[in-house]
A and B are shown apart, each in its own frame.
Chain A
């Protein structure tokens, strides 16, 4: 099997699975219970939080464990919106955000908030000048993703942070789900107030994530109940999953250290080989996160290619799994201004540090075969 859909979800590291099973069996006390079973669990939870903070290089009070990226994005955006609506009801984001950001913003529009969706250029990048122009007295939040999930485009987070910091009343949220473990981001340096990370995109378990909430940032919780997670998130902590996710955080950051160059070589090899295949357009811009390459093959339905490749035990995807129930058109390729035939035929190849050069070679050969076969049928 050649799995090239790592931006949809990843295979958990074996160490992650081990640590999950161990904790689930040995630490079943509720961390909020005051007896020794609970205390042991609480200690382990604190340790996991400390380690996560250390690895990400933030303070442990700034780590909120969530049920995943979607919850993290919702909590950040709605949390700021509801806690600070007295000061203003304007939010700025971009047209190419993940559905969990876009749909949350749309839901806020229904509740009387105003949202500016910044356009992107042909490379899928926002303009910091547009951003600054959009900020008003009413603005309370800017939410911009680091790495785009379909294109692999990297946004100028540091520049955005600097602009936003000129307006001390405006909070800055970054959806770092696709970037974490691949493209470094210094949360403090970039003057970010909230950062979303998802566990299952870094070989951790589904149902896990982290929201970084900078000290002193006031947000309204999504769920009410217990006082867990600094009162930011009620509900019994999912200890075994949390501990195993922190292990995934450690492992992916190690991999980033060791294998970034290798991943770049894979990505370059992939693009180079794709360019030699007739009819393939590479949509991902020159400068991008190495693990995501987006292409279009005009004239071919993306589903047909995906299924033909799957027959050969190769897995890639169309657009974001979270929006792939809609017709072919990719909203992100539309925002970048691509022609109709390109934006209706987008395919995403997403790599992990586990992929090999042989897999990339085989993928390109098989893709070429598939296209040959299909062209015989279709043309």
Chain B
């Protein structure tokens, strides 16, 4: 049976045009950007160009873009870097219980270094209550990190509101925009965001690349030390080829954003309608109205995740129970536990379907048909 990939939020196939530009760059631009000869300078120009494209995609200045090895590194740099550099102003951090593990585990590592972390709860719709944030803020708070779109549910957080609240407070505002980037309209100034994480391989770019937007007013320590690259915020010979590929992925995402939103929305509607018409018993986790088009998280009462994933996989459908970074094990989702309580069945019978470039309307309908027949067979 032909494979249908509905796990685009875990990682997405590299766009053929991205591979093309990377191949070309590997053959042509192999100078070290720090070298002063013309091959170095050519590499440097290429890099500057990519930085401009990345910056303009979020309404930022190019000097505020730091290229990293990916989303995890960018999240770590944002949280640990600001915490360590600003601990003289306080040692309190606010984040949420539903963040990606790159933030949660970075926060835990800071707790071991005597920082205090408040983990905001979410409501059953998947969003935080901004009043909770207001209540948690103290004079000691130095950074607030709230993701723009949750990777398991696709629920969009009220980033702009949080930005408003934090205006006039010393705390920096970081948002992990890994799942939002490429689909939502992002302008760092309008959102009031000081730091913002983006990963390339979630938007059909290569793996091993990402960027962190760092507003020039942010005081931050680097996680790594060495050369002067990336304004000393991230040393090491720049991954020029990866960055060129990333640039192409950004350009494509920008140009096709409306089309992609429309297509993924259609996929989601088709998928859900098909489940309904096949009389599958299911419910959606989180409010559909607050979700990004590319992700839908569905609970199938009377089933369990492992059984579902195995059966889906056998029928050629790749989906997931949550973040791929929780590696191999199918543990109850920390996100759904936060929304519904850890004893709720939704935490063990829910699947994330995420749509992307490789999909088509026919494919999605076919996938829903297969899913429906599996569920209907399993809960008989």
Contacts and interface: CB of A to CB of B under 8 A. Distances in A.
A284 B76 CA distance: 41
Interface residues of A, number: 72
A48 B227 CA distance: 29
A142 interface: no
B27 interface: yes
A24 B239 CA distance: 16
B283 to A, nearest CB: 23
A196 B328 CA distance: 28
Contacts of B5: 37
Given A74-B224, A206-B239, A30 B36 contact: no
A347 to B, nearest CB: 12
Contact of B226 (A11, A30, A100, A240): A100
A4 to B, nearest CB: 10
B76 A224 contact: yes
Interface in A103-144: 103-104, 106-107
A226 interface: yes
B10 A38 contact: yes
B150 to A, nearest CB: 16
A98 interface: yes
Given A37-B5, A70-B227, A241 B34 contact: no
Contact of A24 (B19, B39, B317, B324): B19
Contacts of B199: 236
B167 to A, nearest CB: 29
Most B CB contacts (10 A, CB to CB) among A11, A30, A71, A239 go to A30
Contacts of B237: 9, 68-70, 198, 200, 206, 321-322
A99 interface: yes
B313 A32 contact: no
Given A74-B226, A100-B224, A318-B36, A25 B324 contact: no
Contacts of A278: none
Contacts of A33: 7, 10-11, 318, 320, 324
A161 to B, nearest CB: 24
B3 interface: yes
B318 to A, nearest CB: 4
Interface in B295-310: 309
A234 interface: yes
Interface in A317-337: 317-318, 321-325
A67 B200 CA distance: 15
A306 B26 contact: no
Contacts of A310: 37-38
Contact of B207 (A223, A227, A241): A241
A65 B330 CA distance: 25
Contact of B318 (A17, A36, A67, A104): A36
A309 B35 CA distance: 14
A206 B102 contact: no
Contacts of B141: none
Contacts of A323: 227-228
Contact of A223 (B73, B201, B238): B73
B239 A67 contact: yes
Interface string B10-26: 11111010010011001
Contacts of A238: 69-70, 206-208, 242
A171 interface: no
Contacts of A325: 34, 228
Interface string B57-81: 0000000000001111101100000
Nearest to A18: B23
8 smallest CB-CB distances across A and B, nearest first, come from: A238-B208, A207-B239, A100-B226, A226-B325, A322-B227, A70-B236, A235-B72, A224-B105
Given A33-B11, A310-B38, A322-B226, 18 more contacts: A8-B31, A9-B30, A12-B30, A20-B26, A21-B22, A21-B23, A24-B22, A25-B16, A34-B320, A206-B237, A206-B239, A207-B208, A223-B72, A224-B102, A236-B11, A236-B324, A240-B206, A324-B36
27 contacts: A9-B35, A10-B30, A20-B23, A24-B19, A29-B11, A29-B318, A33-B320, A37-B7, A67-B236, A100-B226, A101-B226, A225-B106, A226-B324, A226-B325, A228-B325, A235-B325, A236-B201, A238-B208, A239-B207, A240-B206, A241-B206, A307-B36, A315-B31, A316-B37, A317-B37, A321-B34, A325-B34
